[in-house]
């Protein structure tokens, strides 16, 4: 069994010194992974039902809008830690364009010396999708599936090419590839 914790990306400990101190202490105490959650913005009014509480209310609504960006936080932690795995808990795949997200994830894996674990999901908060201009909320599952297929094409192929409903690319070089082969582990949450 492996143990880990989620670094705060919101609230009073979501500071440079707070994140560094917690991550380093976690490693000192033998934690196996450090996670970071994914919210780009927090809408002031949320009608969507939060699926992980009995009341359906999103926790932490009192610190509206305050959130460190997940992938940037994990990039930062790659340099502040040495051993713990870095986990997206969970990355809402449709929030970022496929090629850009694949590049950021590959970069984290390279800079962390192959310590990235990719926890993914399709997302639950319609209001956040709308606020950031993400693809259609109703199609978030198919967008997620397609983007993951695009990630793998970018990470594996010498000359990546992809034509999908939500993303397409060709005639590009995509380097560096992730350090982990064939790619960082992908876990689907929900």
63-93, pLDDT tens digit by residue?
555 789 999 999 999 999 999 999 999 999 9
Matching residue, tokens 């409903």: 165
Matching residue, tokens 């993400």: 134
Instruction: Give me the pLDDT at residue 66, please.
Output: 77
Instruction: Give me the pLDDT at residue 65, please.
Output: 58
34-44 pLDDT, tens digit per residue, is: 999 999 998 88
With bands split at pLDDT 50, 70 and 90, how would you rate the model's confidence at 45? Answer: confident
Instruction: Give me the pLDDT at residue 6, please.
Output: 97
Instruction: Give me the pLDDT at residue 120, please.
Output: 98
The lowest-confidence range among 3-7, 60-64, 138-142, 161-165 is: 60-64
Average pLDDT of 91-112?
98
Average pLDDT of 84-110?
98
Average pLDDT of 53-57?
90
pTM here is 0.94
Instruction: Give me the pLDDT at residue 59, please.
Output: 79
Instruction: Give me the pLDDT at residue 190, please.
Output: 67
């Amino acid at each position: 069994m492996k143990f880990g914790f989620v670094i705060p990306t919101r609230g009073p400990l979501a500071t440079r010194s707070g994140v560094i101190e917690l991550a380093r202490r976690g490693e000192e105490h033998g934690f196996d992974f450090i996670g970071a959650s994914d919210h780009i913005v927090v809408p002031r009014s949320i009608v969507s039902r939060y699926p992980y509480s009995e009341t359906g209310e999103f926790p932490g609504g009192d610190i509206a809008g305050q959130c460190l960006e997940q992938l940037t936080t994990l990039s930062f932690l790659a340099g502040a830690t040495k051993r713990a795995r870095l986990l997206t808990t969970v990355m809402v795949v449709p929030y970022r364009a496929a090629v850009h997200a694949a590049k950021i994830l590959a970069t984290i894996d390279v800079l962390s010396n192959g310590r990235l674990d990719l926890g993914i999901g399709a997302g639950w908060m319609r209001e956040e999708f709308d606020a950031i201009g993400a693809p259609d909320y109703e199609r978030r599952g198919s967008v997620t599936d397609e983007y993951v297929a695009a990630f793998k094409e970018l990470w594996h192929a010498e000359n990546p090419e992809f034509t999908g409903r939500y993303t397409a690319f060709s005639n590009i070089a995509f380097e560096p590839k992730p350090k982990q082969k064939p790619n960082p582990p992908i876990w689907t949450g929900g």
